[in-house]
Amino acid sequence: MALWGGRFSGAADSRFKLFNDSLPVDYRLVQQDITGSIAWAGALKQVGVLDELEHGSLVLALHELSEQVCDEQILLSGAEDIHSFVESALIDKVGDLGKKLHTGRSRNDQVATDLKLWCKEQGEVMIEALVKVQQQLLELAQREAHTVLPGYTHLQRAQPITFGHWAMAYVEMMERDLLRVRDALTRLDTCPLGSGALAGTAYPMDRQALAQALGFRQASNNSLDSVSDRDHVVELCSTAAISMMHLSRMAEDLIFYNSGEAGFIELSDAVTSGSSLMPQKKNPDALELIRGKTGRVYGALTGILTTMKALPMAYNKDMQEDKEGLFDAVDTWLLCLDMTALVLEGVQVNKQRTLAAAQQGYANATELADYLVAKGMPFREAHHVVGEVVLAAIEAGQALEDFTLPQLQAFSDAIESDVYQHLTIDACLAKRVAKGGTSLEQIERALGQQKSAPTRE
């Protein structure tokens, strides 16, 4: 039975009903709807709408429903949405008394409350999933703190770094994602229940007590805003989108490192698949899917922003479109975080290949320029001289350090025999001691900082 039949003389068209019903999406809010209803029953008792006995029976029945209900039962009920389902299931249990529960409440403040409760619970799950990926990255960083890796800009070998430094870069990104989740959770921590349809509830209830009974920090301020605010959906979709951007970049790096051309890492059999045609292949499917699924999470963010744009005050049915995108974005993100942790767990680094690659491509050219600067040459001039040395080395098909001293001195007489010790990879790495650099000292500092405060609250 619909909740609003009285004013209507005709039945809804079955195609319209299918179009209008949100149960296939919002069935996931059943526990939040029951929790909100239990708290609402308490508020109704406080203002004298329910007596002690009535309150007791309603709360008991709601608890029973919470334990007994299953998705299949909800989905087969034919209810319009989860709020209608819970209310009619309650009426089935306690009869007419169940019809009192909706006094002073609207589905508008109810859905806003349910969804915020869901966001709060999921926030904790998101934090846990992000921390799990961070832990895998920290372990990798620790394991590969000494492993030399070519660092790239424009996908051209630029300067040597370590694999540990690479992993710690992603730890930083996840750290910001964590802060974004926490920040969104703090801002959404206001309870809309008791805002009515739009103007506020007509019963003089203690909304602060109601908010706290539901675990919110405080009751929301303005009833119009409370029922029509979906900032938290936008913010969580945005947090998910930004985090997926990070995961997709990590996926892309690892796909490249895993390629036959680079051969820097080998992915575990557990997260790769074969080709039906080409027996030699081992494809990085998990990573490609993480990269690919980023698109639909961005889609959810664009979707909710567009749905909310220019909506008049206060609630409009357009807002019913908020949940499908949010649920999918959060599900997808959590799944990708879990897969990322699994992939990282099995990454094997081929230290010979990474070292060999870092030794090619003149990644120590900056070092030679810095060496000339230390000998008193202005950097611009040093840059030019080293450019000439690199060109000659390319033509000769050799590394900078393969030139003899007289050959190097032909480019600049500032070059002396101590030059060679500056051109080794170890020297390149060891010099990056300023905060944030790729030296072992700095990686250990970053690791230590993460270990002592994993989410740096």
Q: Does the protein bind ligand ARG through residue 37 (CB under 6 A)?
A: no
Sequence-separated (6 or more) residues with CB below 8 Å from residue 362:
157, 390, 393, 394, 399, 400
Rounded CA-CA distance 65/30 in Å is 10
Is the Cβ of residue 252 or residue 331 nearer to ligand ARG in the bound state?
A: 331
Give the containing element (helix H, strand E) for 158: strand 156-162
CB 4 to ligand ARG: min, Å: 8
Binding string, 277-316, against ligand ARG, x = CB under 6 A? --------------------------------------x-
Binding string, 141-170, against ligand ARG, x = CB under 6 A? ------------------------------
Full DSSP string of 198-219: TT--SS---HHHHHHHTT-SEE
Whether residue 443 contacts residue 140, with contact meaning beta carbons closer than 8 Å, is answered with no
Q: Does the protein bind ligand ARG through residue 22 (CB under 6 A)?
A: yes
Structure tokens at 415: 């070059």
Binding string, 83-122, against ligand ARG, x = CB under 6 A? ------------------------xx--x-----------
CB 320 to ligand ARG: min, Å: 4
Q: Binding-site residue total for ligand ARG (CB under 6 A)?
A: 10
- Residue among 154, 276, 417, 452 flagged as catalytic: 154
Q: Does the protein bind ligand ARG through residue 232 (CB under 6 A)?
A: no
Tell which residue, 63, 70, 67, has the closest CA to residue 94.
63
Full DSSP string of 73-123: HHHTS--SSHHHHHHHHHHHHHGGGGGGTTTT--HHHHHHHHHHHHHHHHH
- Residue among 63, 146, 273, 275 flagged as catalytic: 275
Is the Cβ of residue 82 or residue 149 nearer to ligand ARG in the bound state?
A: 82
Token look-up 């494809």 returns: 283
Q: Does the protein bind ligand ARG through residue 81 (CB under 6 A)?
A: yes
Q: Indicate if 243 belongs to the active site.
A: no
Structure tokens at 108: 């508008």
Q: Indicate if 165 belongs to the active site.
A: no
Structure tokens at 12: 């809804």
CB 187 to ligand ARG: min, Å: 21
Is the Cβ of residue 4 or residue 379 nearer to ligand ARG in the bound state?
A: 4
User: How many CA atoms does the CB half-sphere of 172 hold within 13 Å?
Assistant: 9
Which residue ranges make up the site for ligand ARG (CB under 6 A)?
22, 26, 81, 107-108, 111, 315, 317, 319-320
Any idea which residues carry the catalytic annotation? Answer: 154, 275
